[in-house]
């Protein structure tokens, strides 16, 4: 029997935070160099940024970009990246065992982000550095003029302040892999004092404290509690980082990763409530899921990491350039559904990363092409349509038993309503059989549905590549009945965006 889904247009929930569609550019692997920036490329502009990549970034529809790390930021000196390029120092990047040329820094990146229509979310180094350097960077970036730091910015070619609102207070400081790793109390104190000084300099900043690096960290929970006790009243968001990977023996649990993310967000929300953590104006603290994606970490630990960390110190080595499958695309689409559903607590989110490094966009070097991975599509289709208010549909349909997360809905869905336009997003987790759906949206006209699924002649492991993009949105036929009900069939393993007015 068909799965019946009802979207009650009057039962609107939270506003869709447009910052939910953030991305992430780290000085890591080929994300910056040989990714967005490649001076030798045919399409490079005067600064060395690739126009073909910029075009794909715009098409992706992201809203925010976190920068410059990630683990990289914990050893970074921001001053290295400003001033005349020929005078910038070359440094070891101990986080990724690479050589950093500093040819891209704050000025170039902010201009590029502006051209891409992205709000910069800047991270400060709380690994090897502290309050003073974070305050210096903020003053350099945001103070109008008349001080040594702000005038240095102007001398370096940027008269107007960058006006960066969003700031991350370090990155994954709970992780023993992090440069300058800290205990929760050490980090809590340092981030509170950094936040205090940053607010003195620019009271309009929005600050993100670093939560746990992942849900499985032994300190998860206690870390958040301690950090929130130190920083409540000084910060606006606390971060969640969440990466998922397929265990080839258990694809069902992988397809239910959205359920795991939902629970993780719920647990952090409970801790925020338990600590009673609020911002200076009394608002509750938001959750910034500022790194999330599918990431084959087994391959990273067994193949990539040993290779890189025993080698030389290369410039822009290929690091975690995962090739995404159809299954990965459905999981990414389903994680977006979770983020939308939890936008009552999630204030923003960043798909990690943007180009080459676990990314929706890949580039070939030496004048090569730029192309879309499978996961590009659910992200772009959601980012360009989800707006207004969130509505959680009621679903009456089958479930799938998963070894790790118990029974989950075979069809996961969320809707957004903006004026007359309703957008409904579906992830179909059944690997074997199609599912007929009856969708009740109330009155409808102008229905359009696009599906990402297994392409003809492919299988669930099909990937895109520089040679072709077989995984791309296709039209999904939808019938509108005399009763106003929309009827369509979700193919096995699929992600769908349906819009109607």
Q: Is 111 a catalytic residue?
A: no
CB-nearer residue toward ligand AHR: 215 or 460: 215
CB-nearer residue toward ligand AHR: 28 or 355: 28
| Contacting residues for 310 by C-beta, under 8 A, at least 6 apart | none
Shortest Å distance, C-beta 358 to ligand AHR = 6
Q: How many residues bind ligand AHR (CB under 6 A)?
A: 11
Query: Cα–Cα distances in Å, from 93 out to 26, 28, 97, 308?
Result: 12, 9, 6, 12
Q: Mask: binding to ligand AHR, 149-188, rule CB under 6 A, as x and -?
A: ----------------------xx----------------
Cβ burial, residue 93 (10 Å; 0-12/13-18/19+): buried
CB-nearer residue toward ligand AHR: 66 or 497: 66
| Residues between 99 and 158 that touch ligand AHR (CB under 6 A) | none
As a whole number of angstroms, the distance between CA 451 and CA 477 comes to 10
Is residue 149 within 8 Å of residue 43, measured between CB atoms? no
Q: Is the dihedral of CA 193, 165, 211, 17 positive or negative?
A: positive
Shortest Å distance, C-beta 175 to ligand AHR = 7
Shortest Å distance, C-beta 353 to ligand AHR = 6
Q: Looking at 172, 245, 246, 438, which residue is catalytic?
A: 172
CB-nearer residue toward ligand AHR: 28 or 349: 28
The 3 state secondary structure assigned to 254-309 is HHCHHHHHHHHHHHHHHHHHHHCCECCCCCECEEEEEEEEECCHHHHHHHHHHHHH
Is residue 226 within 8 Å of residue 188, measured between CB atoms? yes
Q: Which segments within 295-428 are labelled E, that is strand?
A: 346-351, 361-363, 370-372, 389-391, 394-396, 399-402, 406-409, 411-418, 421-428
CB-nearer residue toward ligand AHR: 28 or 126: 28
Shortest Å distance, C-beta 321 to ligand AHR = 12
Number of C-alpha atoms within 13 angstroms, CB side, residue 448?
A: 10
| Residues between 205 and 224 that touch ligand AHR (CB under 6 A) | 213
Residue with smallest beta-carbon separation from ligand AHR: 70
Shortest Å distance, C-beta 127 to ligand AHR = 11
Shortest Å distance, C-beta 296 to ligand AHR = 12
As a whole number of angstroms, the distance between CA 91 and CA 125 comes to 16
Q: Applying CB under 6 A, which part among 68-76, 335-343, 367-375, 394-402 lies near ligand AHR?
A: 68-76
Identify the residue whose tokens are 């870390």.
223
Shortest Å distance, C-beta 113 to ligand AHR = 18
> Does residue 317 interact with ligand AHR by CB under 6 A?
no
The 3 state secondary structure assigned to 208-240 is EECCCCCCCCCCCCHHHHHHHHHHCCCCCEEEE
Q: Applying CB under 6 A, which part among 65-73, 182-190, 388-396, 481-489 lies near ligand AHR?
A: 65-73
As a whole number of angstroms, the distance between CA 319 and CA 39 comes to 20
Cβ burial, residue 403 (10 Å; 0-12/13-18/19+): exposed
Q: Is 291 a catalytic residue?
A: yes
Q: Mask: binding to ligand AHR, 264-303, rule CB under 6 A, as x and -?
A: ---------------------------x------------
As a whole number of angstroms, the distance between CA 234 and CA 230 comes to 9
| Residues between 332 and 371 that touch ligand AHR (CB under 6 A) | 352-353
Is residue 472 within 8 Å of residue 462, measured between CB atoms? no
Considering only 23, 71, 101, 343, the residue that binds ligand AHR (CB under 6 A) is: 71
Shortest Å distance, C-beta 65 to ligand AHR = 13
CB-nearer residue toward ligand AHR: 123 or 424: 123
As a whole number of angstroms, the distance between CA 321 and CA 30 comes to 9
Residues identified as active-site: 172, 291
Site residues, ligand AHR (CB under 6 A):
26, 28, 69-71, 171-172, 213, 291, 352-353
């Amino acid at each position: 029997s068909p799965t019946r889904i009802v979207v009650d247009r009057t039962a609107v929930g939270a506003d869709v935070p447009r910052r939910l569609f953030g991305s992430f550019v780290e000085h890591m692997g080929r994300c910056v160099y040989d990714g967005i920036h490649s001076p030798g490329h045919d399409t490079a502009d005067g600064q060395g940024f690739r126009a073909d990549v910029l075009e794909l970034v715009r098409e992706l529809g992201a809203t925010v970009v976190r920068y410059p790390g990630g683990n990289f930021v914990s050893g970074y000196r921001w001053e290295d990246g400003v001033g005349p390029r020929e005078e910038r120092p070359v440094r070891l990047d101990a986080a990724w065992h690479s050589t950093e040329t500093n040819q891209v820094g704050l000025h170039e990146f902010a201009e590029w982000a502006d051209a891409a229509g992205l709000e910069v979310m800047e991270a400060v180094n709380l690994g090897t550095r502290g309050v003073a350097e974070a305050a210096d960077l903020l003053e350099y970036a945001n103070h109008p003029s008349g001080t040594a730091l702000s005038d240095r910015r102007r001398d370096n070619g940027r008269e107007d302040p960058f006006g960066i609102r969003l700031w991350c207070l370090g990155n994954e400081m709970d992780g023993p892999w992090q440069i300058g790793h800290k205990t929760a109390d050490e980090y809590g104190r340092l981030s509170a004092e950094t936040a205090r000084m940053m607010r003195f300099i620019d009271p309009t900043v929005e600050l993100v404290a670093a939560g746990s690096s992942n849900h499985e960290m032994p300190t998860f929970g206690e870390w958040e509690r301690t950090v929130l006790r130190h920083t409540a009243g000084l910060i606006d968001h606390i971060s969640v980082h969440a990466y998922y990977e397929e265990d080839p023996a258990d694809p069902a649990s992988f397809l239910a990763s959205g359920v795991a993310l939902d629970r993780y967000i719920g647990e952090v929300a409970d801790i925020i409530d338990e600590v009673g953590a609020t911002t200076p104006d009394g608002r509750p603290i938001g959750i910034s899921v500022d790194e999330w994606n599918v990431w084959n970490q087994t391959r990273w630990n067994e193949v990539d990491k040993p290779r890189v960390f025993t080698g030389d110190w290369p410039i822009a080595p290929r690091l975690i350039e995962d090739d995404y499958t159809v299954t990965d695309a459905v999981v990414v689409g389903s994680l977006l559904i979770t983020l939308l559903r939890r936008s009552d607590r999630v204030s923003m989110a960043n798909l990690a990363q943007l180009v080459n490094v676990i990314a929706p966009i890949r580039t070939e070097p030496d004048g090569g092409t730029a192309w879309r991975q499978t996961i590009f599509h659910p992200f772009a289709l959601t980012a360009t349509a989800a707006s207004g208010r969130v509505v959680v549909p009621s679903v009456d349909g089958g479930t799938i038993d998963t070894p790790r997360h118990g029974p989950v809905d075979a069809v996961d869905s969320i809707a957004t309503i903006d004026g007359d336009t309703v957008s409904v997003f579906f992830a179909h987790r059944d690997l074997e059989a199609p599912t007929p759906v009856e969708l009740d949206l109330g009155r409808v006209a102008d229905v359009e549905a696009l599906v990402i699924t297994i392409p003809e002649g492919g299988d669930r492991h099909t990937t895109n590549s520089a040679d072709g993009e077989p995984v791309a949105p296709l039209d999904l036929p939808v019938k509108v009945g005399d009763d106003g009900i929309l009827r369509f069939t979700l193919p096995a393993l699929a992600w769908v965006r349906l819009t109607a007015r």
